[in-house]
Structure 1
Amino acid sequence: MEPIFTPEQLAEIKAYYLPHYIRGAVNPFVTLALLALLLWGLNRPFYQGAQALASGLGRRWAFLRTAPVSRILIRAMDRLWGEPGWGTALLFALFIDLFSKVLYTPSDVYFDYILEHRHGMSAHTPLTYATDTLKSWSISAVAAVTMVLGLYGLARRLRNWWLVLGVPVALLMLVSSALDPYRSRVYFDQSPLEAGPLRIRISGLMARADIAFADVLVEKTSVSTKRVQAYFAGQGPTRTIVLNDTLLKEFTEDEILAAVAHEAGHVNEPQWAGRIAAACALIALLFAIDRLLRRAAARGWFGATQFADIRTLPLLSVLFFFIMLTAKPISGAFSREREWEADRYALRLTGDPATFRRMLVKAARVNKMDPEPPRWVILKGMSHPPVGERVAAISAP
C-alpha cells in the first residue's frame, strides 16, 4: 500500500508543524500573562483613557444629543445603561480588544502569512491578508460592543438579566445553524456549481442518503489558501453543500463524492442533544457571570464601584479562558468520535473504500496534515483523528 507521504514530504510537514506545536504549548501561559497584565497593570489606565476620550467626544459631538435621529439612539443608550457612562464602557471594551489584537499581530502575521507562504499553503497577497485581517478585527469589535451593551447593559437594569438575556439567545442558538450558508460569504465569494456530471452525481448520492439540500455552491477560497475543503452549511431549507474551488481542481469526481459522503455523515448525527446542552450551558455561564459580577462589586475588585462595572470585563476573559481550557479536550474527544462515525458512514454510503482512501491521502498531501501529531496535541483538543489513523483504519482488512 502506498504510504501517505514520501520521506521528503514528511520532513517538510514536520518542519511546518513544529512552530505550531511550540505555540500550542506556550499559548496558554502567554494568554494568562496577558490577562494578568490587563487586570493588574492596564485596567486603570485603559479605564481612565476611556473616560477622558468619552468626555472629549461628548463635548465635541454634543450636537448629536439634539439631532433628530441620533438623540433617540443616545436616549435609548442612556436608559439602558442607567447613566451617561456607556460611552466609557464601549471605549474601554474597544481598548482591550484592540490592545490584544495589536499584541498578537506579530505572531499572527508569522503563522498566518509568513509560515503559510514559506510552505506553499497561502495565496494571500499583503493586501488581501490585510483586508481579511481588518474584516476579522471589525467583527471582533462589533462583538465586543454587543457584549457590553447586551450583557453589562441588561445586568445594570434587571436583577435576573441572565435569564432575560440567556433564554432568547439559547433559543436562537438552537436554530442559528440555518444562517451558516451566509457567514462564510463575508470572506469568500460563492457561486452555484455548474450543471454537469458532478452535480448530477452529487444529487444521486444525496438521494441515496435521503438528505434534502437547497444547492451545491463553489466557494472561491483559492484567493487566500491552497487547502481543499468541503462542508454542509445550514439546515432544513437552507442546507447547502459547499465545495471549494481548489477541491474541484485537485480531486477527481469520485474523490469529491467521497468527501461529500463524509460530510453527509455529519448531517445524520444526532444534533439536537448537543444543541440543547450548549444552550443550557450558556444560561449556566451567564448565571456564573452574574455571581462573579456581584462578588466583584461587593469587594471592590479592580476599582468596581457598582454591580456590572465595566472594569470587571477582563475578569470575564479569565473565566472564559479556564472554561475553554477545560472544555476543549472534552469537545475535541467528542468531535473525533463524530469524525470516525462520518468516515464509517461514507464507506457504507459509497461502498468504495479504495476511493475514500485516495481522497484522504490526497487531502492530507494538499493540506499538509501531520499523520502522527504528538499525543498531547490530540488530547488538547484536536477536532479530527490523525489522518494516519484514519487511513490505516480504512486499509485494515
Structure 2
Amino acid sequence: MEPLFTPEQLAEIHAYHLPYYVRAAVDPFARLALLALLLGVLVHPFFRMATAAAAGMERRLGFLRTAPVSRAFFRAMDRLWGESGWGAAVLFALMTDLFVKLVYAPVDIWFAYSLEHQHGMSNYTPAAFARDMLKGHLLGALAIAALVIGLYGLARRTRHWWWILGVPVALLLLVSSALDPYRGRLYFDQHPLPAGPLRTRMTELMTQADIAFSDVLVEKTSIASRRLQAYFAGQGPTRTIVLNDIILQELTEDEVLAAVAHEAGHVHEPKWPGRIASSLALVALLFAIDRLLRAASTRGWFGTTRFADIRTLPLLSLLLSGVLLVGGPIAGAFSREREREADRYALRLTHDVDAFRRMLVKAARVNKMDPAPPRWVVLKGQSHPPIGERLADLPQP
C-alpha cells in the first residue's frame, strides 16, 4: 500500500498543525490568567460602567416602558429578574464577554483566517469571514443575555432554582438535536442532492441500514473551506443527510457511500445513556454553581451584596473552564471509541474495505489530517482517533 503522505506533504501538515498544538498547550493557562485578571481587577470597573450605562439608557429610553408594544417586554423582564436592574446585569455580562473576545481576537483571526489561507485550507474572503464572525458573536451575545436572565433571574427568586432550571433544560437538550438541520443554514446555503445514481444508491443503503431520513442535502461550504465533510443532522422526521460540495468533488460514489455509512453508524449508537448522563451532569453543574453563588454572597466576594449577584459571572466562567478541562479527556476517549465503532459499522454495512480505505486516505489528504499527532494532544480530548490508527485498524487485503 502506498504511503499516506509524501515527505513534502507530511512536512506541510506538520507546519500546519504545529501552531494548533502550541495553542492547545498554552490556552488553558492563558484563559486562567485572563479570568484571574477579570476577577482580580476588572470586575469592579466593569460593573460600575455597566450600571452607569444602564442608568443612562433608562433616562434616554425610559419611555419604552410605557409604550404600547414594548411595555409588555419590560414587564416580563422585570418579572423574570424579580426587580429592576436586569439591564445593568446584561450589560456587565456583555462587557466581560466583549473584553475576552477582544483579547483573543488577534489570535482567533490569525488561526481562523491567516493560517488557514497560508496552508490552502480556506476560501474565505475578508468580507465573508468578518460577516460570519460577527454573526457568531451576535448569536453568542443573545445566548449570554438569555443565560443571565434565566440563570441569575431564577436564582434570585427561588432557593431551589438549580433543579427548577436544570430539569427543563436537560429535557430540552434531549430533543434539541432535532433542530440541527436548521442551524447549518445560518451559515451555508443548502439544496437537495439531484436525482441520480448517487442519491438512489444512498437511499438503498439507508434502507439496508434501517434508517429513515427526510432528504439528502448538499451544503455549499466551499465558499469558506476546502475541507470535505458528511454528516447526519436532526432526529426522527427532521433527520437529514448532509454532504458538502467538496466531498462530491473529491470522492467517487463508492467513497461517498463509505463516508455516509460511517455516519450511519453514529445514528445507530445507543444515544440515551450519553444523553441521560449529560443531563445529570448539567443538573450537577447547576448545583455546584448554586453552592458557589452562596459562598460568594456569604463572604462578599468581588463586592457582592446579595445572592446571585452578576459580579460572580467570571467566577462561573472559571468553574466551567475547570469542568471542561477535566471532562475533555473523558469525553474525547468516549468519542474516539464511538468513531472506531462507526468505522466497524460502515464496513459491516458496505462490505467494501477498499472504498472505505480510499475514502479515509482522500479525506486525510484533503483535510490535511496529522497521521500521528502527539499523544498528549489525543489524550487531551481529540474527538477522532488519528487517521493512521484508523487505517491500521482496517482489515488487510
- For the aligned pair, the TM-score class normalised by the smaller chain equals over 0.9
TM superposition outliers: structure 1 runs of 4+ over 3 Å:
none
Q: 1:393 Cα deviation (Å)?
A: 1.4
1:230 corresponds to 2:233 = no
1:179 corresponds to 2:179 = yes
Q: Please tell me the residue identity of whatever aligns with 2:179.
A: L
Q: Please tell me the residue identity of whatever aligns with 1:352.
A: D
Match of 2:59 in 1: 59
Q: What are the residue-to-residue correspondences of 1:18-29 with 2, within 5 Å?
A: 18-29=18-29
Query: CA deviation digits over 1:252-302, x for unaligned, max 9?
Result: 101000000000000110001100111111111111111110110000001
Q: Secondary structure at the match of 1:394?
A: coil
Equivalent residue pairs, number: 397
Distance 1:80 1:276 in 2: 28
Q: Please tell me the residue identity of whatever aligns with 1:234.
A: G
Q: 1:160 Cα deviation (Å)?
A: 1.1
Match of 2:103 in 1: 103
Match of 2:5 in 1: 5
Distance 1:133 1:232 in 2: 25
Distance 1:241 1:368 in 2: 24
Q: Please tell me the residue identity of whatever aligns with 1:240.
A: T
Q: 1:119 Cα deviation (Å)?
A: 0.4
Match of 2:278 in 1: 278
Q: Give the conservation status (yes or no) of the 8 Å contact 2:80–2:150.
A: no
Taking only the aligned residue pairs, the percentage that are identical comes to 70
Q: What are the residue-to-residue correspondences of 1:214-363 with 2, within 5 Å?
A: 214-363=214-363
Q: 1:71 Cα deviation (Å)?
A: 1.7
Query: CA deviation digits over 1:15-68, x for unaligned, max 9?
Result: 000111000000000000010011111100100000110011110112112111
Distance 1:62 1:154 in 2: 25
- The runs of 5 or more residues in structure 1 that have no matched partner are none
Q: Please tell me the residue identity of whatever aligns with 2:241.
A: I
Q: 1:159 Cα deviation (Å)?
A: 1.2
Normalising to structure 1: TM-score of the pair?
Answer: 0.99
Q: 1:175 Cα deviation (Å)?
A: 1.1
Match of 2:157 in 1: 157
Distance 1:262 1:79 in 2: 49
Identify which range, 305-314 or 75-84, moves more after superposition.
75-84
Distance 2:381 2:174 in 1: 24
Q: 1:162 Cα deviation (Å)?
A: 1.0
Q: 1:73 Cα deviation (Å)?
A: 1.5
Identify which range, 69-78 or 354-363, moves more after superposition.
69-78
Q: 1:76 Cα deviation (Å)?
A: 2.0
Match of 1:114 in 2: 114
Q: Secondary structure at the match of 1:228?
A: coil
Q: 1:83 Cα deviation (Å)?
A: 2.1
Q: 1:395 Cα deviation (Å)?
A: 5.2
Identify which range, 336-345 or 58-67, moves more after superposition.
58-67
Match of 1:46 in 2: 46
Q: Secondary structure at the match of 1:61?
A: helix
Q: Secondary structure at the match of 2:270?
A: coil
Q: 1:125 Cα deviation (Å)?
A: 0.2
Match of 1:15 in 2: 15
